[in-house]
């Protein structure tokens, strides 16, 4: 073999070897990064970094950031979003969704307006359209209304504020539990604005900022009754 051919062969062999070693090194590094769990909480560092969790704090594994009834460690196992209660945007919280990453599974076989998964997890029938109109917990809301409101069909007071969901202007917010003048505006809300009076029910129909929305409509919409929208 000529010196030139030997030199070319050696160069090719050396280049190939370096390339192979580099590839192996990269693969090993990636594998190590995927397995690295500095706080030994069961959630890899890279996953915690993606979602803004602390890779050095093992306690965040047991937290439920999005209140979907799934701890962060469970979210990792399911590969759901720990900061989004409904990862697949199908209207069913991940903790109650039989298929939390597949929105096509939000079927409604009986056509009653309530997804099958929601009915199954709450003891309703996915094959009986009549249960949509029922009020199992006697709170004044039908099961369909409970689904739309995000309240519990099996318990009359979802936010535990002492007011049945059907009478509660904010059934998921215990802060808005008292409405002395029963105008639909909770006292906690009326006390935020000096022109509202929790003993004067007529102010719910007034429109003091002149934007075409009554104070009650502003409350319902979450807009500012002092600022024309």
Residue 30 pLDDT > 90, yes or no? no
Same domain, 58 and 113: no
Instruction: From 71, 101, 131, give the residue that closes a domain.
Output: 101
Residue 26 pLDDT > 80, yes or no? no
Residue 117 pLDDT > 90, yes or no? no
pLDDT number for residue 13 = 45
**pTM: predicted TM-score of the whole model, two decimal places:** 0.42
If pLDDT is split at 50, 70 and 90, which confidence band does 47 have? very high
Based on the number of CB atoms within 10 Å of its own CB, is 73 exposed (0-12), middle (13-18) or buried (19 or more)? middle
Please check whether residue 215 is in contact with residue 203, taking contact to mean a CB–CB distance below 8 angstroms. Answer: yes
Instruction: From 62, 77, 101, give the residue that closes a domain.
Output: 101
- Tell me the mean pLDDT in the region 28-48: 79
Question: Is 126 within a domain?
Answer: yes
Weakest mean pLDDT among 20-24, 42-46, 54-58: 20-24
Based on the number of CB atoms within 10 Å of its own CB, is 165 exposed (0-12), middle (13-18) or buried (19 or more)? buried
Based on the number of CB atoms within 10 Å of its own CB, is 155 exposed (0-12), middle (13-18) or buried (19 or more)? middle
Same domain, 86 and 74: yes
Domain that holds residue 129: 107-176
> How far, in Å, CA of 141 to CA of 198, rounded?
26
pLDDT number for residue 220 = 81
């Amino acid at each position: 073999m000529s010196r030139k051919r030997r030199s070319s062969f050696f160069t090719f062999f050396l280049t190939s070897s370096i390339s192979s070693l580099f590839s192996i090194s990269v693969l090993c590094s990636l594998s190590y990064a995927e397995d690295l769990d500095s706080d030994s909480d069961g959630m890899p560092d890279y996953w915690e970094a993606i979602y803004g969790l602390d890779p050095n704090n093992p306690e965040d594994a047991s937290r439920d950031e999005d209140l979907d009834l799934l701890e962060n460690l469970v979210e990792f196992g399911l590969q759901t979003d720990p900061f989004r209660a409904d990862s697949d945007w199908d209207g069913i919280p991940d903790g109650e969704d039989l298929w939390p990453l597949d929105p096509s599974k939000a079927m409604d076989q009986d056509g009653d307006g309530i997804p099958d998964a929601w009915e199954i997890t709450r003891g309703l029938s996915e094959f009986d359209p009549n249960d949509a109109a029922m009020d199992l917990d006697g709170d004044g809301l039908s099961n369909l209304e409970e689904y739309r409101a995000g309240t519990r069909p099996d318990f009359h007071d979802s936010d535990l504020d002492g007011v049945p969901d059907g009478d509660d202007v904010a059934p998921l917010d215990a802060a808005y539990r008292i409405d002395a003048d029963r105008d639909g505006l909770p006292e906690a809300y009326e006390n935020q604005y000096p022109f509202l009076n929790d003993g004067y029910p007529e102010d719910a129909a007034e429109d003091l900022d002149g934007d075409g929305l009554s104070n009650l409509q502003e409350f319902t919409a979450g807009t500012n009754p002092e600022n024309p929208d």
